[in-house]
Amino acid sequence: MSARILVVDDVETNVRLLEAKLTIEYYDVLTCNDGLTALALAKTEQPDLILLDVMMPGVDGFETCRRLKNEPRTRHIPVVLVTALDGRQDRIRGLEAGADDFLTKPLDDVILMARVKSLTRLKMVMDELREREESGRRVGVDTAGVARLKGSGGRVLVVDDNELQAARIAQELAVEHRPLIEADPARALEAARGAVDLMIVNVASDGFDGLRLIARARSKEPTRRLPLLALVDPQDRPRLLKALDLGASDILTRPIDPEELAARVRTQVKRKRYGDFLREKLDYSLEMAVTDALTGLHNRRYMSTQLQSMVGRANNGGEPVAVLVLDIDHFKAVNDGFGHDAGDEVLREFSVRLATNVRAVDLPCRFGGEEFVVVMPGTSLEDAYRIAERIRRDVGAAPFRIMGGQAQLNITVSVGVASTPSGWQDTPEALLKRADEGVYEAKASGRNKVVARAA
C-alpha cells in the first residue's frame, strides 16, 4: 500500500534521510523545511500523513500541528511529531495539539514504518467517507456539525485481567469519560457491539491473548471500525509491532502516564465520532437520494430503477409485476381553498394510508405532485385490483384532518391498475402508461374508482 507523505524538518540532512527511507518503501514523499510552508503544502497537496519535526524556527511543530488540526481542509490528515525531545510534558503537549503519535529521535525504523502503515491505512478509510460527505454537501446535506465534535464523554471499554491496573485506568478515565471494565475477551467483544467509543486492550495480559482479541475485533462487522488502544510494554517490540499490524489504532506503553492516557483516549474518541458523523451523513445522503422528503415514501427515481429490474425479470420468465397509479381527486381545490400547507398535510396522511394497505414487499412511491405509484412484485392483475380497491375504500372511509385538526376534508382517489402479461415482452413505460390510462378513465367516469387495464 503506497501513500503520499509530507516530511517537515528544518535540518536538510534529516529530511533527506527520512525521504530515502520512505522512498525505498515505495511511498511518494514531499518535503519542506518550515511550518508555514508545511501548512500551505498540506492544503494544496493533501498528503496522507505528515511527519513533522518539533524544534523548528518561527512556527514550531506544536503550533503547526495545532493549526493543521484547526483547519477543515487538513484536520483529517494524521500527524506524527518527530523530535529529539523525550520529556513527558513535550509528549503530552504534542498529543494535546492533535498529533496522532510522537516519535523520538533517533527513529526506530521498524516502529516508524509500522506507524506510517497504520495511520495511512486509517486515512484512506476516512477519505472514502469524506468523499461521500462532499457529495452530501453538494446536494445540500448539512455537514457543519463536525466542528462541534468533542473527545470527551466517551464510553471506553477497558479489557484487562489485571484488576489493579484496570481499576487505575478506569479511575483516570472517569474524569472525562464513562469507563467499563471487562476481564473476559468474549464478553468484551459482546459489550463492544453496543455504544462503545473505544476499547483499550492489555495485549500483555496473562489470562487471555490480547493480540487475538484485536484480530477478532477487526474481523467482526460490529467492531471492525471501533478504535482500539493497545496497552504494551515498551521493551516488547514484537508484540507492539504485531498490535499495529493487526489494526490497533494507537499504542500506549507502560507504566501508564495519566495525561498521556487522557490525551490518546481523547483523540481516539473524537476520531470515532468523526467517522460516525460521516457515516450518518452518508446514510442520510443515500436516503435522500431515494426518498421523497415530504411523505417519506420512495421517490420516482428509486421507483424507476426497481421497476426496470422487476419488469426485466418478468420478461425472462419470472413472476409478474403489477403497478397501481393513484391520483388524489380534486387536489387542486385543497391547495386553492386551504393553502399549500394543508395540501402537504393531505399528502402526508394519504401516504400513511397508502403504505399501511400494501404488503411489505410492495414499493409505495410518490411519483410527483398528488400522483403516487405502487410497484407490486409477484402480483397478478386481479390481486392488484383487489388491493387497489382496499386502498380506495380506506382513503375515503374517514376524513383527513388538516390545519392542526381545525378542519376536516373528505378525500377520494382514482386508481389505475396494470400488470405484466404472460407470454410476451413488456416495458416499464408501457406498464405505467396502461395504469395511467386507467386513472384517466376513472376520472372521466366520476372519480373515486379503480380501473384495471389489461395489455
152-194 pLDDT, tens digit per residue, is 788 999 999 999 999 999 999 998 899 999 999 999 999 998 7
> Pick from 382, 401, 404, 364: which is nearest to 450 by CA?
382
Would you state the pLDDT for residue 1?
Answer: 55
Bigger pLDDT: 92 vs 149: 92
239 has pLDDT over 80 = yes
**β 321-328/371-377 pair status:** antiparallel
Q: Which value, to the nearest 10 degrees, does the dihedral of the CA atoms of residues 68, 72, 77, 80 take? A: 20
Q: Would you tell me how many other CB atoms lie within 10 Å of the CB of residue 22?
A: 20
**Is 370 annotated in the active site?**
yes
- For residue 265, the 8-state DSSP code is H
pTM above 0.75, yes or no: no
Q: What span, in angstroms and rounded, lies between the C-alpha atoms of 438 and 431?
A: 11
Q: What span, in angstroms and rounded, lies between the C-alpha atoms of 213 and 189?
A: 8
Q: What span, in angstroms and rounded, lies between the C-alpha atoms of 350 and 93?
A: 60
Q: Would you tell me how many other CB atoms lie within 10 Å of the CB of residue 141?
A: 15
Kindly state the percentage of the chain with pLDDT values over 90: 56
220 with 190: CB under 8 angstroms? no
> Pick from 322, 385, 320, 393: which is nearest to 354 by CA?
393
Would you state the pLDDT for residue 156?
Answer: 94
Would you state the pLDDT for residue 296?
Answer: 86
Average pLDDT rounded to a whole number, residues 234-242: 90
199 with 217: CB under 8 angstroms? yes
Catalytic option among 19, 370, 389, 441: 370
Provide the grid cell at 423.
407470454
What are the tens digits of pLDDT across the range 312-335? 999 988 899 999 999 999 999 999
pLDDT band at 140 (very low <50, low <70, confident <90, very high): very low
Q: What span, in angstroms and rounded, lies between the C-alpha atoms of 298 and 373?
A: 10
Half-sphere exposure of 64 (CA within 13 A, CB side): 33
